[in-house]
Structure 1
Amino acid sequence: MFRTRDTTSTMIIFSDSNDDMEIVFTLEGLTQAGIIFIMAIAIIVTNILIIATFLNFRGPSEVINCYLLSLAVADLLCGLLVVPLSVYPAVVRDWVYGDVVCRLVGYVEVTLWAVTVYTFMWISVDRYLAVRKPLRYETIQTKTRCQCWMAFTWISAAMLCCPPLLGFNQPVFDSDAYICMLDWGSMAAYSVTLSILVLGPSLITIVYTYTYIFNMLRKLRSGYAFHDKEYVTALSENLSNPSHLMSFSLVLAFWASWTPYIGVRLYEYFTGVKIQVQFLHFGIVWLGFLNSFWKSMILITMSPQFRLALRIFCMTICCRYKGRMQAELIGMEADD
């Protein structure tokens, strides 16, 4: 038999059996569990929509869509395998799934994070080549080549992050954010090496490529005298592509989401003092994971091609004349 006792902010449910076990439900815990649950639903729904939209689109598409599809897959896996597992622990304030699952969740988190960082690096390279070699871009950046790079990225990220999965690192349950993470402090040498391998080339590449892109955009707008008119025409056409600004916004949103968490963790590590504010730790962790949702908003607001593909996908669900309707929307046929 179960009985309940209510107070202003706490409900206690306990059993009268010989094995008395009491579970405390607080208003704060239920609220945070609700936030995590809503985030999980939002991440899953939006990224399924992104993946379905890209796969359904049959018109001419940019190579960058291969990278965006990879980002959506990584975010979807995060929404399916990581975020939902924190809902019940937020209610009971404890990890209830065991050490093995905790270790797997920590491994999946860092692997998907590395995949995302590497993918942003490849996106910046793609945008750089579109500006640096506008006349040869389509022959250099083929879909097959980009798909190979993404397969290499997923495999290398999974291998680089696997030592903690093999038992060399103990999982840690963050009781402030209700999520399992790997204890990187116990493997300082490996942690530093992994950080260098993941962040080093990625950040250097992103900074260099986008600096070059915006510098060329500045030169073009200021009327800089280029010698090759054919090159200038192709460059002007490529720089007018909204994918440059959209991809840069994706990068900014990612680092804006995770910088507070990284900053607080570095401060606590080097000072040896943990900030005793539970809401702060909860907020900075889930602000980072919320990045998996913001990507869809950036695509919708800043990518005309994605909006077209999304419109086609939504209409094909309701319309039986799918082929003809797609052709009309893409511009291959005249409107009726």
Structure 2
Amino acid sequence: MNASLDGSNHSSSRPFCLLDAGYPEALDICLLELIVIVFLTVLIISGNIVVIFVFHCAPLLNHHTTSYFIQTMAYADLLVGVSCLVPSLSLLHYRVTFLPESVICKAFGYVVSVLKSVSMTSLACISVDRYIAITKPLSYNTLVTPCRLRVCILFIWLYSGAVFLPAFFDWGKPGYHGDVFQWCADSWDTWAIFTLFIIIMLYAPAAFVVCFTYFSIFRICQQHTKEINERRVRFSSQEGEAADAQPCPDKRYAMVLLRITSVFYILWLPYIIYFLLESSSVYHSRAASFLTTWLAISNSFCNCVIYSLSNSVFQKGLKRLSGAVCVSCARHRAIFQNS
């Protein structure tokens, strides 16, 4: 540690970090970057592990076909957290020396981009699933079957992997810019054609599907709520009773998914804007690259928080899991004290 603070050995011993450019106290800035990455990594991994355990311990959650996509999203977000251990280890001086840095950069950028693409397309599939459930409730069980859901999930992974595959053939940098490797930041450039390709094949279709389906869902829910309330008012006026407004049964669940989707695009919007500006050679900043990318990656933790706070069945499953853990801990403590 003392050698890294010497003038001659400082630049060679300390790891590369995006936030050190232009700052005299570079080591403190790199430490701040390490804290941010490690903090997000711990939150993402622990949060999504809890979500996955709750889904396995709460059978009621598996009654919803949407749970297939929620679990897919949770597994993808968990893998995002695991992959974030790579930059954490890099900043802690643990480097993969037997591979060229260019290979590590391309592999890491590809993996993170594919995993986030799986999350994005899963959200789009969730919105389509809810749209079919509300617009075609009688034929929903025949249209959406477990076999078709598994095929759809497999297609999500294969499609996401195929979209970013050209990055290995020097088409340009994919959708990851929070570089902790110097080769990624200095030598791996984004290209406008590849950026446009990713937007056309992934971002734009997913955004259009989500906006269209949720707009249609809420319009249908408002119409159903209005019709139900009119009927209740009509019957209650005939019987002389007060009528209470009843919401659409699917509206609450749609609101949960809408919150997840809204937070997803809010967190990713700064990154997408920076992605476009950098690809067009309009604006380039290492600090903006780091901040926008890790802001987008933080969505992997926000998904599980929003879902756990918004879904009552999930909360019951979480309480059941917490109770089981507490009982197990108390049992082990009693055995330890008796022994």
Q: Provide TM-score, normalisation by structure 1.
A: 0.76
Partner Cα separation in structure 2 for residue 189 and residue 258 of structure 1: 20
Deviation digits for residues 213-238 of structure 1, max 9, x if unmatched? Answer: 111122233338999xxxxxxx9664
Residue in structure 1 matched with residue 41 of structure 2 by the alignment: 40
2:14 to 3, 18, 23: 23
Higher relative contact order (CA 8 A, sep 6+): 2
Summarize the alignment of residues 116-131 of structure 1 with structure 2, pairs less than 5 Å apart. 116-131=119-134
CA deviation after TM superposition for structure 1 residue 88, in Å:
4.5
Q: Which amino acid aligns with 1:123?
A: I
Residue in structure 2 matched with residue 334 of structure 1 by the alignment: none
Partner Cα separation in structure 1 for residue 131 and residue 311 of structure 2: 18
Q: Which amino acid aligns with 1:317?
A: V
Note if 1:286 corresponds to 2:294: yes
Residue in structure 1 matched with residue 272 of structure 2 by the alignment: 262
Summarize the alignment of residues 121-270 of structure 1 with structure 2, pairs less than 5 Å apart. 121-165=124-168, 167-169=169-171, 178=180, 180=184, 183=188, 185-186=190-191, 188-223=192-227, 238-240=249-251, 242-270=252-280
CA deviation after TM superposition for structure 1 residue 90, in Å:
4.5
SS state of the match for residue 14, structure 2? strand
Partner Cα separation in structure 2 for residue 21 and residue 203 of structure 1: 44
Q: Is the 8 A contact 2:225 2:248 kept in 1?
A: no
Residue in structure 2 matched with residue 87 of structure 1 by the alignment: 88
Structure 1, unpaired ranges of 5+: 6-10, 228-234, 321-336
1:305 to 305, 313, 317: 313
SS state of the match for residue 134, structure 1? coil
CA deviation after TM superposition for structure 1 residue 211, in Å:
0.8
Partner Cα separation in structure 2 for residue 170 and residue 12 of structure 1: 37
Partner Cα separation in structure 1 for residue 261 and residue 253 of structure 2: 12
Evaluate the alpha carbon distance shift between residue 220 and residue 33 of structure 1 in structure 2; reply closer, same or farther with a 3 A threshold: same
Deviation digits for residues 83-110 of structure 1, max 9, x if unmatched? Answer: 2222244467x99772211111111122
Further displaced range: 43-52 or 112-121: 112-121
CA deviation after TM superposition for structure 1 residue 254, in Å:
0.7
Partner Cα separation in structure 1 for residue 277 and residue 195 of structure 2: 16
Q: Which amino acid aligns with 1:220?
A: H
Q: Which amino acid aligns with 2:124?
A: M
Q: Is the 8 A contact 2:134 2:217 kept in 1?
A: yes
Structure 2, unpaired ranges of 5+: 16-25, 232-245, 329-339
Further displaced range: 215-224 or 246-255: 215-224
Q: Provide TM-score, normalisation by structure 2.
A: 0.75
Note if 1:295 corresponds to 2:310: no
Q: Which amino acid aligns with 2:202?
A: V
CA deviation after TM superposition for structure 1 residue 3, in Å:
3.9
Deviation digits for residues 152-203 of structure 1, max 9, x if unmatched? Answer: 11122212322223x434669x9975365895634x4444233212123322
CA RMSD across the alignment: 3.4
Which one has a larger percent strand, Structure 1 or Structure 2?
1
SS state of the match for residue 273, structure 1? coil
Partner Cα separation in structure 2 for residue 189 and residue 28 of structure 1: 34
Evaluate the alpha carbon distance shift between residue 183 and residue 136 of structure 1 in structure 2; reply closer, same or farther with a 3 A threshold: farther
Residue in structure 2 matched with residue 78 of structure 1 by the alignment: 80
Evaluate the alpha carbon distance shift between residue 222 and residue 171 of structure 1 in structure 2; reply closer, same or farther with a 3 A threshold: closer
Evaluate the alpha carbon distance shift between residue 225 and residue 176 of structure 1 in structure 2; reply closer, same or farther with a 3 A threshold: closer
Residue in structure 2 matched with residue 326 of structure 1 by the alignment: none
Further displaced range: 121-130 or 132-141: 132-141
SS state of the match for residue 64, structure 2? coil
CA deviation after TM superposition for structure 1 residue 114, in Å:
1.8
Q: Is the 8 A contact 2:173 2:190 kept in 1?
A: no
Note if 1:102 corresponds to 2:105: yes
Evaluate the alpha carbon distance shift between residue 281 and residue 192 of structure 1 in structure 2; reply closer, same or farther with a 3 A threshold: closer
Number of residue equivalences: 296
Partner Cα separation in structure 2 for residue 316 and residue 245 of structure 1: 30
Q: Sequence identity, in percent? A: 21
Q: Is the 8 A contact 1:169 1:184 kept in 2?
A: no
Deviation digits for residues 271-298 of structure 1, max 9, x if unmatched? Answer: 63335xx544322221111000101110
Residue in structure 2 matched with residue 69 of structure 1 by the alignment: 71
Partner Cα separation in structure 2 for residue 13 and residue 95 of structure 1: 26
Which one has a larger percent helix, Structure 1 or Structure 2?
2
